[in-house]
Amino acid sequence: MTTEATRDVNAPASTMVMADTGYPVPQGKRVPVTDARHWEIVGFLEDESALLDDNDFPAWLALLAPEVVYRAPVRTTRDHRDRSMFEAEMYHFNETIMTLMLKLMRLTQTDSAWSENPLSRTQRIVHKVRVWETDTAGEYEVYSSIVLLRSRYDESGLEFLPARRLDRIRTGDEWKLVSRTVYFDQATLGVQNLAVYL
**The CATH number of the domain where 160 resides is what?**
3.10.450.50
Q: Which pLDDT does position 84 carry in this prediction?
A: 61
User: What distance in Å separates the CA atoms of residue 143 and residue 164, rounded to the nearest whole number?
Assistant: 7
Helix H or strand E segment including 22: none
Q: What is the pLDDT of residue 63?
A: 98
C-alpha separations of 12 from 17, 63, 67, 138, 153 in Å: 12, 19, 8, 22, 36
pLDDT in tens, 152-182: 777 777 888 999 999 999 999 999 999 999 9
Q: What backbone torsions phi and psi does residue 17 show, to the nearest 5 degrees? A: -110, 135
Total domains present in the chain: 1
Q: Where are the alpha helices (DSSP H) in the chain?
A: 36-53, 57-61, 97-109
CB 146 within 8 A of CB 54: no
- Domain containing 122 equals 6-184
List all residues 6 or more positions away from 35 whose beta carbon is below 8 Å from its beta carbon. Answer: none
> Cβ of 40: how many Cβ atoms within 10 Å?
14
Residue 100 lies in a domain: yes
Residue type at 62? A
- From residue 166, how far is each of 13, 81, 129, 162 by CA, in Å? 15, 23, 10, 14
Please indicate, yes or no, if residue 70 is contained in any of the structural domains: yes
197 domain residue, yes or no: no
In a domain, residue 109? The reply is yes
* Cβ 184 vs Cβ 160: under 8 Å: no
> Do β-strands 176-184 and 64-75 pair in parallel, antiparallel, or remain unpaired?
parallel
CA angle 86–128–185, rounded 5-degree value: 25
Count of CB atoms within 10 A of residue 43's CB?
A: 11
pLDDT digits (tens, 9 = 90+) for 136-158: 999 999 999 999 998 877 777 78
What mean pLDDT value characterizes the chain? 84
Could you tell me if residue 194 is inside a domain?
no
Does position 31 have pLDDT exceeding 90, yes or no? yes
Task: Write the CA distances from 15 to 18, 20, 30, 119, integer angstroms.
Answer: 10, 16, 18, 32
pTM: 0.82
